[in-house]
Structure 1
Amino acid sequence: MERFKFLRFFSFRTQHDFLPSSNPVRENLINGANTDTNGEHRDGFFSNLVYGFLRRFKSGKKIDGGSKTEEEEKVYSWLYALARSEIYMAFEYVRSTERGLSFTEAEKRLKENGPNTPLEYTFPSSWHLLWSAFFHPFNIILIVLSALSYITSDNPNGCIMLILVFISVSLRFYQEYGSSKAAMQLSEYVRSPVKVQRCAGRVVQTELIVQVDQRDVVPGDIVIFEPGDLFPGDVRLLTSKHLVVSQSSLTGESWPTEKTADAREDRSTPLLELKNICFMGTNVVSGTGTGLVVSTGSKTYISAVFSTIGKHKPADSFEKGIRHISYVLVGVMLLVVTIMILVEYFTFYDLSESTLFGISVACALTPQMLPLIINTSLAKGALAMARERCIVKSLSAIRDMGSMDILCIDKTGTLTMNRAIMVNHLDSWGAPREKVLHFAFLNSYFKSDQKYPLDDAILAFVYTNGYRFQPSKWRKTDEIPFDFMRRRVSVILETESNPEGRNIQPFYRFIITKGALEDVLKVCSYVENVDMGEITAVSAEHHHRILNVVEELRNEGLRIIGVAIKNLQQTVSSNIL
């Protein structure tokens, strides 16, 4: 094990704004999401009475968001069974071989399972869109009043209300139909090639590496992946070499996770933390490997999650408000019309005239232009979004986004820039030191494997702030790549000039290590005090002081990385373990 002389650390901030979990604003937002947003409309006794009476006729079911659905349970059990099994058992589970599927078998399975699309986009039928546009509380009220107008021979008024309903429904139907069709056409242009191992030949089977579209991948296929590739389904790893995968599409975390084919998992491990299972929608950051596709299409984990979310779409505050106003309006109309009919009847004793007068009052109380105004405004917003190259499939999304006051996001990478930004470079006393940045830059510059987000942040910080560290004066002689056991990466560099002081030797060799601060601190023997100009052994007091500084930085939302160096020309026995 290498022991290091100096300890430095530097901090990063991810590019996003967030609210801490204890923030009262966030607590109020969460509590507010579970309360009745229509409380502000029920201030009066009469409104409460009408609303309470009418809502008894509504039917609804509560959705238990905490329990898993039957589909999710099947997916969970299937993936856990494959994670616990040996590789040869995994092949038996999916009825495949180490050579892969034959072309004939792959075509057969493609017909059985259908195209491999995680959330199969089904184009809504015209009747479905038409019914969705038509079924609006105010449209129903206007149609009922129109029918009553025709019954009482008030044809002009009834005709006007039907025309308003027709224009409103047509406008919404036209906009949503065009947007849905454009979204489906856009999805047809998305293609993702996948390297698949297939076998050919009747007598002597030959293994072939072919490239197929992601939609044509079936359970039992053996896929080969490298940095940048997307997993075409849920995959049980067969082989892996320094494999690091980004699961930000599922977890929202931009920091990648290590995957290995040798892991043996049990049910106590959270599903997304399984080391030998890779999920559809995630991508390879670094490393290579092969995997056995165990689930595709609607049977994958991501499909089970999103299909559950999509089954029950709760009504938003705008829909609740419109529905509430409709119920109150119906109650007011019934009460007022009944009173007016009774008064008119007992005054003139003419039932037909009294009924006609009551319907006229109901028509006057109804905001006949409201549905048309709402749909026109939403369609105008959708057209404005279309000019910005954004397709709005549902007009209700316009009002949902427009009604937001605060949008809270607690995950990086889903809606944010998905990149880290370096904030500062500090020594072990918490003071800014350019020397720390110099060695961190050299480590990130010379590492040969895939650059991680923090490496990109260091390089970007150096280049954008005008530092000139001249890496051409250094030469790499060896490297110990990053792995998730050591949690650090080390490079060995040579230079003709000593960055620590005067030159007394023809060349100088340094090992520079960067990684998780706690793991870097464990292998450090000395710490440098710049103000005192001395190098002292790391003591318990140093450990306590350094960890206190780190804790303060982490409380500010920063990620801390440690940097340590060792001059390999020195032969201090205490530096070698």
Structure 2
Amino acid sequence: MHITILKNLFAGFLRARRMTRHFGRRIMLDTVVRTGVGREAPDTLSRTLAEAALADRDALLARLGSHADGLTERQAEAIRARTGFNEVGHEKPLPWWRHLWHCYRNPFNLLLTLLAAISWWTGDLEAVTVIGTMVVFSTLLRFWQEARSSRAADALKALVGNTATVARRPASADAAPHAETYFGVRLAVDPGRDVEMPVRMLVPGDIVRLAAGDMIPADCRVLSAKDLFVAQAAMTGESLPVEKFAEQAGASTRNPLELDDILFMGTNVVSGSATAVVLATGDRTYFGALAGRVQAVDRGPTSFQMGVNQVSWLLIRFMLVMAPLVLLINGYTKGDWGEALLFALSIAVGLTPEMLPMIATSTLAKGAVALSRRKVVVKRLDAIQNLGAMDVLCTDKTGTLTEDRIVLARHEDAWGAASDRVLELAWLNSRHQTGLRNPLDEAVLERVGTGAPPGQAASYRKIDEIPFDFERRRMSVVVAGADGRHLLISKGAVEGILKACDRVLHDGVETPLTPERLERVRAVASALNDEGLLVVAVAYRMPEPAREAYGVADEQGLVLAGTVAFLDPPKESVPQALAALAAHGVPVKVLTGDNERVAAKVCSDVGLAPRGVLLGGDVEAMDDAALARAVESHDVFAQLTPMHKERIVRRLKANGHVVGFLGDGINDAPALRAADVGISVDTAVDIAREAADIILLEKSLMVLEEGVVEGRRTFANMLKYIKMTASSNFGNVFSVLVASAFIPFLPMLPIHLLVQNLLYDVSQSAIPFDRVDEEQLRRPQRWQPGEIGRFMLFFGPISSVFDILTFAMMWFVFGADTPARQTLFQSGWFVVGLLTQTLIVHMIRTPKVPFVQSRAAWPLLAMTAAIMAAGVFLPMGPLAPELRLQALPPLYFALLPLILLGYMGLVQAMKGYYVRRWGWQ
């Protein structure tokens, strides 16, 4: 599980385009629209799709070697052997030597290699050794981590991958139930029935069943459909869903995207249901044919990547200014331009953040592993930063604030009396609908159980259905009784049903729904809502004349039969989770399609005192300016459509918030995409999982709160390295400039700078394992490049103060004031410079007093202690002559603690001033 997460992290940061094909399908589809290539397709593919659209159904199945009842398992295996898996843009793993090359070829390593080549040309073999060690260390660590992540790719896909409902036809050899293995998981397959299988296992000729919320798993031809609407905006840019039919209306259409009966991989079903046959899979799909062009268009950098890039270029620009300045000063004052060039190049190496990719990768990998332990799967790298930066969480109600264990509590007529007739009608509707089955339907069916259905329900057969959508907020089925008469039964939100009713059933008599009776019906429903029950209205009518097909227009003139009320108890853990999120600066806003009274009651039960409830109708009537104010003053939003949710999220973002959205339904997909960090669960519908950046393996606010804390911990550790590197490098260069202007020899040789830089980088390699102060986890954290620059300019010169004191000590106390005694001078500054650089790791990692109020994790303590010991040992040990160092006198080590204590004291004092003036992120 832990290694599983690494795949995604490196995909986002190191090789996003190559390693996120499974989860990047939505991103690539968005790019199709942006670049305009989505409206074009190879001529051969266009002709093939047009021919399939016009082909006779039986002839098409015969050409594909399929059957109306689907393929047998053996047929599917044989086809899969020819066509391969249903994967787009899948690349074979790189050979190890090419992977190693990719890990090496970054600007920092190339710069170090150039310096090593110059050092070898000048005969400085020690410098070659040190630089080579730095390059090899960075490259091999990156290679090892990426190799681990690549091996974990399939496990990650299995964890949150999409599945499809596929028909499997029995054959003589396949008739007995058996088990198939998909991604290492044994699944029972009962031939002759619909089975759920991973999308990658589909083959041309497979018969798939589609319902609202499903992603289209491959290019398909519709065989049968009922009110099928598909969102293909990602392919065409059209904002409205497109209706698809089982036949192509005209023979002249040649644009594949305008074909009435063709479905495209990567689009999704908004409403309705269908049966379709797979025409093409993987790279042979319309999307797969375009993928090669789209891959040339990179996705824009995330805020995380932009932050890292800004810091990197800050240091690189600083290097490009300071290195030539050091060259000019040393060349002019010392007269040896060759040695000055080597020294300037060493300064450039010292200023190069060569460990930044490795530290960032290690920190994020460590954070992702920790998140995986908390049942949080990260799909995109920048989601970790956004999770830590999140300062508003929008969530749905069902399953998050409640147990998602819905039970049917009551079935009553419109006047509040128990009614078996209402239960019978509700059972018929839930039993025969094939669209988006939800927990309410399951609760109705469970209430009746496996015994005989109520009344005469068992004698009814299904004729047709009118699927649910989020505008009508109701769905209907049409059934026929033993007498052949048709009965239309509609079930949905109370207001949605009342709009279609003109009569009400009372004491077995249908009476007009007068305003007085309407008010009474609403009062009964409101009373149930006030008890925390979710109320669904049930209505019916007997259409005349009977026919085989019905539509939305038939949902009129209904008779209100009554209501069914459901109970979904609040979770016991929610109050604690809400308090924990609030303590970490993340208020929760509830966005739900449910009734406002139910939402308010549930919120009250879990301790979320709403400042106000805003309805979807109010959202619809507001302009952007009014909504921007309203989203700040309200915490509960009810009776929302999917577009309302998306608009609320966008307004919060426009107000400067970093917004998280937690949802699992098709109605949540637009908001998931609009949020800074979309959060879903592994049991969500396909389109919600595809739209999310983070997947929770447990739908719990407590799990999410732990994820927020871990995201902040990960980001805080990364900021530590950046602050340490920026301030330390600036201080070193400033000291070099001062020394170069007044000392008749180099204050430190190139080899000294390289060894010091190498040891310092090694000491920081344990930062990903460091602990973070609780105070830093209580507030959202964001990239603030300006703050990093201020931090560098503020703390960098502090080390220079003590470097200059060291210069004075070596010059006046130890007499290292001539070129003949420069080795002693250089050795003295080498030790002080390395120790202060290493101590800064502990001084800057916390605003508190280090070692007393805040102690680093033991890996970092051990690493920095080892590096400090190595720094003292090198001038005194057998390697000193090779490094052009010499042993230091005893008096030096007596004075050294005074310098270090003074340095720590001044840094601590300045930290206090800095925190009071600017704060501490």
Which residue does 2:359 correspond to in 1?
373
| Alpha-carbon distance change, 94 to 355 in structure 1, aligned in 2, over 3 angstroms | same
1:488 aligns with 2:476: yes
CA contact under 8 A between 2:486 and 2:542: conserved in structure 1?
yes
Q: Which residue of 2 aligns with 1:195?
A: 168
Tell me the secondary structure at the aligned position of residue 474 of structure 1: coil
Which of the residues 538, 541, 556 maps onto 1:563? 538
Counterpart of 2:153 in structure 1 is 183
Q: 1:83·1:276 contact (CA, 8 Å) conserved in 2? A: no
Change (3 A) 1:386 1:176: farther
Aligned-partner residue type, residue 249 of structure 2: R
Corresponding residue number in structure 2 for 1:67: 36
1:66-110 Cα distance to aligned partner (Å, 9 max, x none): 512476566984576257525179749968799999999999987
1:319 shift after superposition: 3.7
Q: Is the 8 A contact 1:143 1:161 kept in 2?
A: yes
Distance 1:232 1:437, change over 3 A: farther
Counterparts in 2 of 1:432 and 1:301: CA distance versus 1, 3 Å:
farther
1:297 equivalenced with 2:282 (yes/no): yes
- Percent of residue pairs identical: 25
Q: Write out aligned runs for 1:374-389 (5 A).
A: 374-384=360-370
Cα deviation, residue 177, structure 1: 1.4
Richer in helix (by share): 2
What code does the residue aligned with 2:326 have?
M
Specify which of 446, 450, 457 is matched with residue 440 of structure 2.
Answer: 457
Q: Does 1:130 align with 2:94?
A: no
Q: From the superposition, tell whether residues 423 and 218 of structure 1 become closer, same or farther in structure 2 (CA, over 3 Å).
A: closer
- The answer to whether the aligner puts 1:474 opposite 2:445 as a matched pair is no
Following superposition of structure 1 onto structure 2, how do residues 375-454 of structure 1 map, counting pairs within 5 Å? Answer: 375-384=361-370, 397-404=380-387, 405-406=389-390, 434=416, 441-447=423-429, 448-450=431-433, 452-453=435-436
Q: What letter corresponds to residue 298 of structure 1 in structure 2?
A: D
Tell me which residue corresponds to 1:514. 490
Structure 1 residues 143 and 227, CA gap change in structure 2 (3 angstroms): closer
Q: Which residues in structure 2 correspond to 1:547-562 (within 5 Å)?
A: none
Counterpart for residue 276 of structure 1: 261
Query: Number of aligned pairs?
Result: 452
Q: Which amino acid aligns with 1:444?
A: A
Do structure 1's residue 333 and structure 2's residue 333 form an aligned pair? Answer: no
Question: Deviations 1:421-450 (Å, cap 9, x if unpaired)?
Answer: 9899999xxx99756997665433244435
8 Å CA contact 1:449–1:481 kept in 2: the answer is no
Change (3 A) 1:460 1:483: closer
Deviation at 1:564, TM superposition (A): 1.7
What does residue 173 of structure 1 align with?
143
For residues 489 and 94 of structure 1, the distance between their equivalents in structure 2, rounded to whole angstroms, comes to 35
Q: Of the candidates 222, 231, 236, which is equivalent to residue 221 of structure 2? A: 236
Instruction: Name the stretch that deviates more: 162-171 or 256-265.
Output: 256-265
Contact 2:478 2:486 in 1 (8 A): no
Distance, in Å, in 1 between the alignment partners of 2:64 and 2:244 is 24
Query: Could you tell me which amino acid in structure 2 is paired with residue 195 of structure 1?
Result: R
Deviates more, 1:147-156 or 1:509-518: 509-518
Q: Distance in 2 between matches of 1:536 and 1:94?
A: 57
Counterpart AA for 1:235: C
**Shift in alpha-carbon separation, 1:309–1:460, aligned structure 2, 3 A:** farther
Question: Using the alignment, how far apart are the partners of 1:217 and 1:454 within structure 2?
Answer: 24
2:73–2:168 Cα contact (<8 Å) kept: no
Q: Distance in 1 between matches of 2:134 and 2:55?
A: 66
**2: CA distance, partners of 1:270 / 1:117:** 24
SS in structure 1 at match of 2:86 = coil
Distance in 1 of aligned mates of 2:417 and 2:77: 60
Match of 2:347 among 361, 364, 368: 361
SS in 1 for 2:432: coil
Contact 1:422 1:457 in 2 (8 A): yes
Q: Which residue pairs with 2:246 in the alignment?
A: 261
Within 2, Cα distance between the matches of 1:257 and 1:420? 32
One-letter code of the match for 1:356?
L
Quote the residue 2:87 is aligned against: 118
**Residue in 2 aligned with 1:141?**
111
Q: Gapped runs of 5+ residues in structure 1?
A: 1-61, 199-208, 495-508, 551-558, 569-573
1:167 is paired with a residue of what secondary structure?
helix
Name the SS of the counterpart of 1:483 in structure 2: strand
Change (3 A) 1:437 1:339: farther
- Structure 1 residues 258, 319: CA separation in 2 closer, same or farther (over 3 Å shift)? closer
TM-score, structure 1 normalization? 0.54
Distance 1:279 1:330, change over 3 A: closer
Q: Distance in 1 between matches of 2:501 and 2:74?
A: 59
**Deviation larger for 343-352 or 538-547:** 538-547
Contact 2:368 2:378 in 1 (8 A): yes
CA change 1:165–1:136 in 2 (3 A) is: same
Map of 1:85 onto structure 2: 54
Describe the shift of the 1:521–1:123 C-alpha distance in structure 2 as closer, same or farther (beyond 3 A): same
State the Cα deviation string for residues 505-525 of structure 1 (Å, max 9, x = none). xxxx99782147899668744
Write the letter of the residue equivalent to 1:353.
E
Structure 2 counterpart of 1:313, from 295, 298, 302: 298
Matched with 2:333 is: 347
Name stretches of at least 5 consecutive residues in structure 2 with no aligned partner.
1-30, 172-191, 235-240, 469-474, 526-533, 544-556, 560-921
1:243-267 per-position Cα deviation (integer Å, ceiling 9, x unaligned): 687979999xxxx999753563689
Task: Name the CA distance, whole Å, in 1 between partners of 2:158 and 2:541.
Answer: 55
Q: TM-score, normalised by structure 2?
A: 0.37
State the 1:299 CA deviation.
2.1
Is the 1:285–1:450 contact (alpha carbons within 8 Å) kept by the matching residues of 2? no
Residue aligning to 2:512: 537
C-alpha spacing 1:89/1:211, structure 2 compared with 1 (3 Å):
closer
Q: Distance in 2 between matches of 1:542 and 1:379?
A: 62
Quote the Cα distance in structure 2 between the aligned partners of 1:166 and 1:119: 35
Tell me the distance in 2 between the aligned counterparts of 1:409 and 1:91. Answer: 49
Superposition deviation, residue 286 in structure 1: 9.9
Question: Residues 14-34 of structure 1: CA distance to partner in whole angstroms, max 9, x if unpaired?
Answer: xxxxxxxxxxxxxxxxxxxxx
The one-letter code matched in structure 2 to 1:489 is V
Does the Cα contact within 8 Å between 2:502 and 2:558 map onto a contact in 1?
yes
Q: CA RMSD in A?
A: 6.7
Closer/same/farther in 2, CA of residues 147 and 103 from structure 1, 3 Å limit: same
**Structure 1 residue 224: Cα displacement:** 4.7
* Distance in 1 (alpha carbons) for counterparts of 2:303 and 2:43: 34
CA distance in 1, matches of 2:288, 2:83: 14
CA–CA distance in 2 between the matches of 1:307 and 1:437?
61
- Against the structure 1 CA distance between its residues 274 and 377, is the aligned structure 2 distance closer, same or farther, given a 3 Å change threshold? same
Q: Is the 8 A contact 1:441 1:459 kept in 2?
A: no
Distance between the aligned counterparts of 1:562 and 1:283, measured in 2? 26
For the 8 Å contact 1:483–1:489, the answer to whether it is kept is yes
Question: Measured at CA, do residues 471 and 104 of structure 1 come closer, stay the same or move farther in structure 2, by a change above 3 Å?
Answer: closer
